[in-house]
Chains A and B, each alone.
Chain A
Amino acid sequence: MTALTPAGPARRTGLYQRHLELGAKMTAFHGWEMPLYYTSIIEEHRAVREVFGIFDVSHMGQVLVTGPEALPTLNRLVVSDLGHLGEGRACYTLLLNEHGGILDDVIVFRLGPEDFLVIVNCATHEADVAWLQAHQQGRVTMTDISEGRAILAVQGPKACRTLEQLLDTRVTTLGRFGVAPIRTMGPDACLARTGYTGGDGFELFLPNTHAVRVWNLVVNAGQGLGGLPVGLGARDTLRVEAGLRLYGADMDAQTTPWEAGLGWTVAMQKGEFIGREALVRQREVGIPRVFIGIQLASGPVPRQGMELRLGDRRVGTVTSGTYSPLLQQPIGMGYVEPTAAKLGTRLTVTVRSQRYEATIVKLPFWTPRMTPAARLTAGASPLESRT
Chain B
Amino acid sequence: MEIPDGLFYTKTHEWARREAQETVVGITAHAQDELRDIVFIELPKVGRTVSRGQPAAVIESVKAAFDIYAPVSGTITRVNDAVVQSPQAVNQDCYGQGWLFAVAPSTPAEFATLLSSADYASVLKAASH
Contact = CB atoms under 8 A, between A and B. Distances in A.
Interface of A: 1, 25, 36-37, 40-42, 233, 237, 299-301, 303, 322-323, 325, 330, 352
Interface string B25-68: 00000000000110110100000000000000010111111000
A325 B37 CA distance: 10
Contacts of A303: 64-65
Majority SS of interface residues in chain B? strand
Contact of A322 (B42, B58, B62): B62
A83 B66 CA distance: 50
Interface of B: 36-37, 39-40, 42, 58, 60-65
B62 A300 contact: no
A300 B63 contact: no
B39 A301 contact: yes
Contacts of B61: 41
11 contacts: A40-B36, A41-B62, A42-B37, A237-B62, A300-B40, A300-B42, A301-B62, A301-B65, A323-B40, A325-B62, A330-B39
A36 to B, nearest CB: 7
B58 A352 contact: yes
Contacts of A1: 63
A233 B40 contact: no
Nearest to A299: B40
B17 to A, nearest CB: 27
B65 A300 contact: yes
B63 A36 contact: yes
B63 A233 contact: yes
B58 A42 contact: no
Contacts of B60: 300-301, 323
